[in-house]
Amino acid sequence: MERTQRPIPSTPTISSTSTTTKRQKSTAESESNHQPLFPGLPDDIAQLILSLVHHPSTLSSVCRQWRRLIYSPSFPPFLSLYALLLPTHQSQTQTHLSIFDDSRVQASLRATHHPIEILTLDPISSSNWQPIPRPPAPPLGPILRHHPSFLSRNLPIQSVSVSGNLVLLAATADNLQPALPRPLVFDPVTRIWGFGPPISTPRRWCAAGTSGGAVFVASGIGSHYTPDVARSLEKWDLRKSSIQHRNNGKSWKWEKLESMRDGKFSREAIDAVGWRGKLCMVNVKGGSAKQGVIYDVATDDWSEMLEGMISGWRGPAAAMDEETLCAVDESKGVLREYDARSDGWEEILWEERLRGAEQMAAAGGRVCVVCGGGGGILVVDVVAKPVRLVREVSVPVGFQAVAVHVLPRMSRPD
């Protein structure tokens, strides 16, 4: 598999002579105290052997050296949950994007402006949510989650996961303006944030999704509604993105693609689900009558969604490895899998807690669903026969989940 180059800025170089001397001394002491992973074997050979173990949790319980290894950037990462959280207190209409430790998370509940938290849950070493590093400067300005003009809805914060990265794409700022002029990208393996390329028209209430290592943004509203933006489609291919490309201006950009046939997909935030080389999307959430379209990534062409696919798309949807399409019927609490041969949906799990489902992600044989109200995240094993509910993950007290993603675990500094 081709290794994805990550769009992350390089770390600064330390040039101080004294610092270098201290670092060399520290390195020498570390090497003298080094314990091999396997006695009698070079560490690189031992790491190759240990990387073949299917369940890293078994390595974690053996010894400290192995536990450190599975969190190193060079070791194949296991998957973890990542969640965007908001305080449940609704008296304020503005939020800020920031990352705090546990004490500041609790203090934020009493602050004038509540932060959006991005936390991760490591399934091996901890049962508690942990904050990820802070986003880069300049800090993101105020984000609106509620507005008097839209009393019956929450203003969306749109994010996607692609090539092992978490990407924040769109939100609403003061005066109902787009909050993000360019994407914010977080790489869990390096624990580093970076900026994506500026999009031609920053927007909100768009269709956002991924396919084959590329991010797609369609439709939406900029500073005001325009038919061109409402019909537009743009792609940012992270596989072409590197520090060198960014510096010389090549490939570090959004590419305009074939426009949509109308602007009916700018009414609310939409998940464009990558499935078998296509992007599938509907323009209305829930069980209401809706329009569905499919974009073919290879041919750069749009087509109408088949009637059977539309009829079963009655809530959040996601595709496992872009191959198996699942959707939740949020009114009935049913998880379904799409059968392309019959253009129909097969019911694979009924679960009362799926009623009112708000968002979902799929990876590693698991479907993770944000429950109604964001108070918990259901983890479903869709590979098991029969399909089974693995667990419900509670979110921190005083917060609600806005979105969930399944990404590589964060590495840990030595």
pLDDT tens sequence across 42-100? 877 877 877 777 777 777 777 888 888 888 888 888 899 999 998 886 434 445 454 44
Listed as own residue / partner, the contacts of 64-71 with beta carbons closer than 8 Å and 24 or more positions apart are 65/35, 65/36, 65/37, 66/37, 67/125, 68/412, 68/414, 69/37, 70/124, 71/409, 71/410, 71/411, 71/412
Domain boundary among 27, 51, 69: 69
Say yes or no: 314 and 194 in one domain: yes
Task: Quickly state the pLDDT bin for 12 (edges 50, 70, 90).
Answer: very low
Domain boundary among 6, 36, 69: 69
Say yes or no: 323 and 381 in one domain: yes
Say yes or no: 55 and 182 in one domain: no
Q: Transcribe 363-383 into DSSP letters.
A: ETTEEEEEPGGGSEEEEEESS
Q: How many residues does the chain have?
A: 414
Taking residues 383-398, what's their average pLDDT?
Answer: 93
Please report whether residue 11 resides in a domain: no
Say yes or no: 149 and 37 in one domain: no
φ and ψ at residue 91, rounded to 5 degrees:
-75, -20
Domain boundary among 69, 99, 130: 69
Say yes or no: 244 and 368 in one domain: yes
- Residue 272 and residue 257 in contact, taking contact as beta carbons nearer than 8 Å: no
Minimum mean pLDDT range among 267-276, 319-328, 334-343, 344-353: 267-276
Work out how many domains the chain is built from and give that number.
2
User: Which CATH number does the domain housing residue 248 bear?
Assistant: 2.120.10.80
Please report whether residue 146 resides in a domain: yes
Please report whether residue 413 resides in a domain: no
Sheet holding 344-350, edge to edge: 317-320, 324-329, 334-339, 344-350
Flag whether pLDDT at 166 surpasses 60.
yes
Taking residues 244-256, what's their average pLDDT?
Answer: 64
- Residue 362 and residue 47 in contact, taking contact as beta carbons nearer than 8 Å: no
Please report whether residue 225 resides in a domain: yes
Please report whether residue 414 resides in a domain: no
Say yes or no: 360 and 327 in one domain: yes
Minimum mean pLDDT range among 13-22, 33-42, 57-66: 13-22
Task: Tell me the pLDDT tens digit for each residue of 130-155.
Answer: 999 988 766 566 677 766 666 556 77
Say yes or no: 150 and 172 in one domain: yes
Residue 406 three-state SS? strand
Look at the block and give the residue holding tokens 């091999």. Answer: 36
Domain that holds residue 50: 18-69
Task: Tell me the pLDDT tens digit for each residue of 190-246.
Answer: 999 989 999 999 998 899 999 999 999 999 999 888 999 999 999 999 887 554 444
Please report whether residue 379 resides in a domain: yes
Say what the pTM is.
0.81
Say yes or no: 258 and 344 in one domain: yes
Say yes or no: 27 and 139 in one domain: no
Please report whether residue 360 resides in a domain: yes
Classify residue 163 as left (phi > 0), alpha (psi -120 to 50) or beta.
Answer: left
Pull the structure tokens for residue 163: 């090539």
Say yes or no: 127 and 50 in one domain: no
Please report whether residue 13 resides in a domain: no
Say yes or no: 58 and 83 in one domain: no
Say yes or no: 392 and 317 in one domain: yes
Taking residues 251-261, what's their average pLDDT?
Answer: 89
Flag whether pLDDT at 249 surpasses 50.
no
pLDDT value for 102 = 47
- Residue 290 and residue 282 in contact, taking contact as beta carbons nearer than 8 Å: yes
Query: CA–CA distance from 258 to each of 93, 235, 236, 262 (Å)?
Result: 37, 11, 14, 12
Higher pLDDT, 174 or 344: 344
